[in-house]
Chains A and B, each alone.
Chain A
Amino acid sequence: MHLIPDTWPHFHMLVSVFPSVGLIFAIGLFIAAMVTNNAPTQRLGLFVFGGLAVLGVPTWLSGIYSESAMTRPGIPEGEGAAHTFWAYAALAFLFLTGITALLVLWRAIKSGTGPSKNMQHLTLGLALFTLLNMIIVGEMGWEISHQELKIPYVYGNTSQVWSHIHIIINHFPTVGFCFGLFFLVVGLVQKNVVMERSALVVFVCCAVLGATTYVTGASAMWALTSPPIPAPFGPISQARINAHRDFALLTLFGLAFTGVTAWIEIYRYRYQHRFSQKTLYVVLGLAVITFLIMAETGHRGGLINHPEIRAAGDAMTQDAATFLSPQIEILINNIIYFVPWQTVHFFGYTAVFATVFVVSLRIFGVWKSMPFSAVHRIIPLGVFGVAANVFTGMLMLMADTSRYVNEAAFWPKMFFLPIGAIAVLYFSLSDRLWATKAGESAPMQAKWVAALVLFSWTVVIMGGRLLPYLFV
């Protein structure tokens, strides 16, 4: 496989995700640095903004050279014009953000402190405005080569909305891991707890989004193959899809191991006020392995519908049955395998809901005689419940993907799953909530988060139970 790009469109697709999707992670780090008032992390955030602006140059140039490659049959005349127009605006704001960030960084280094509050807000405001532009540009960009997204929904078929969401969301774990690894390595070198903690949070969020990515990918498979996409954008090779999803399954395992190990360190920090250096290096190792698997997964995904990145030497079997995923599908359809994993899934969500319910009730004011730190001890049970359910849920999904993804209760389940799982992180990260002693009320902010978490998991479980009964 040719991971290193040898054409301009290939290079453009790879580099352009950093100033767009990467900007979200850079903004996240900068906000974490602002909230914790950690000067070294604020300086790292400014450096990352500057770095993304530098990456804007190859994005811009590769975009210009890629225009000549837009000769693929089926792309309407002038399709890229709006993308190009908005790209110049987004790049202009990106450069402005980068230059401002580097100037603020230079002044901060000269004065030996962090940037002033005003400068922090200015840089953050510019970055957020750039992100808004990047969202528009990105959306117009991937619509150029993905004309299949415009196929209208026909009753009985799988909607192309799934393919659309998959194209967007799959970049979060991949780009997120680049940033997570960078933050973790810098944090380990500088022995900076905020950077290390930010990296761990990124890994956990990416792991959660990995599950959503896998599910939307499985849905996209049906949207692209049943019925087949007409020429010139189809038919899509089932063998290419299977090659991609075999690696996607490996990625899911890698993300789960990295995410759970990272979460254990976030948990440890709450009680011991330090990380285990050994475990941080384990997280680093797992993240590197997962990132390598993810790079191959992403490349195989790109090959599905981007003939411009296929190299002449790429060998690809045309026999769709030779891959692992179809064999797992056959196996899991046997009740002897399906029912035991389904039973584990039911135990998993009872553990998740019990955890969420107990923690939320304490936050709402029940069992006030207990400090929050005591209630927090139950959270590992919920985290392992989520991990078990991601694994068992994927197996159950593989038994009958087409039916599950076309049930009316499936999309709210999949929408609230990442929200509920990521919001739980707040319980382990908020210093104000952690300081809630016996007899004290939790902060109002925590009550809102608890309500969101409780609502999300209620929808996830109800959605699951309603799956067999609500058809689109």
Chain B
Amino acid sequence: MVALKLWAMTVVVVAVVACLVLFAVNRLNKVADGGEK
């Protein structure tokens, strides 16, 4: 049960952080394209 909980927590935390980073990187890519004011 602990192993399952550990997997679940790890996947959720990594997924949330990855989404935040991808969102920010995408926004900055638009800034570099000159599109984001």
Q: Given the complex, which residues of B lie within 8 Å of A384, measured CB to CB?
A: 20-21, 24-25
In the complex, the answer to whether A339 meets B34 with C-beta atoms within 8 Å is no
Minimum Cβ distance to chain A for residue B30 (Å): 10
The CA-CA distance from A267 to B30 in the complex, in Å, is: 12
Question: How big is the B interface, by class?
Answer: 20 to 34
In the complex, the answer to whether A381 meets B34 with C-beta atoms within 8 Å is no
Residue on B nearest A378 in the bound complex, by CB: B25
Minimum Cβ distance to chain B for residue A356 (Å): 16
B1-18 CB mask vs A (1 if < 8 Å, else 0) is 010011001101110011
- Tell me if A82 is interfacial: C-beta within 8 Å of chain B: no
Q: Given the complex, which residues of A lie within 8 Å of B10, measured CB to CB?
A: 339-340, 343
In the complex, the answer to whether A335 meets B21 with C-beta atoms within 8 Å is no
In the complex, the answer to whether B32 meets A347 with C-beta atoms within 8 Å is no
- Tell me if A380 is interfacial: C-beta within 8 Å of chain B: yes
Secondary structure class of chain B's binding surface, majority of residues: helix
In the complex, the answer to whether A381 meets B5 with C-beta atoms within 8 Å is no
In the complex, the answer to whether B24 meets A340 with C-beta atoms within 8 Å is no
In the complex, the answer to whether B13 meets A340 with C-beta atoms within 8 Å is yes
The CA-CA distance from A343 to B10 in the complex, in Å, is: 7
Minimum Cβ distance to chain B for residue A335 (Å): 7
Q: Which of B5, B6, B9, B28 is most buried by chain A, counting CB atoms within 10 A of its CB?
A: B28
The CA-CA distance from A347 to B16 in the complex, in Å, is: 13
The CA-CA distance from A377 to B25 in the complex, in Å, is: 9
In the complex, the answer to whether B14 meets A344 with C-beta atoms within 8 Å is yes
The CA-CA distance from A388 to B24 in the complex, in Å, is: 12
In the complex, the answer to whether B13 meets A272 with C-beta atoms within 8 Å is no
**Interface residues, chain A, with chain B CB atoms under 8 Å away:** 264, 267-268, 271-272, 276, 335-337, 339-341, 343-344, 347, 351, 377, 380-381, 384-385, 388
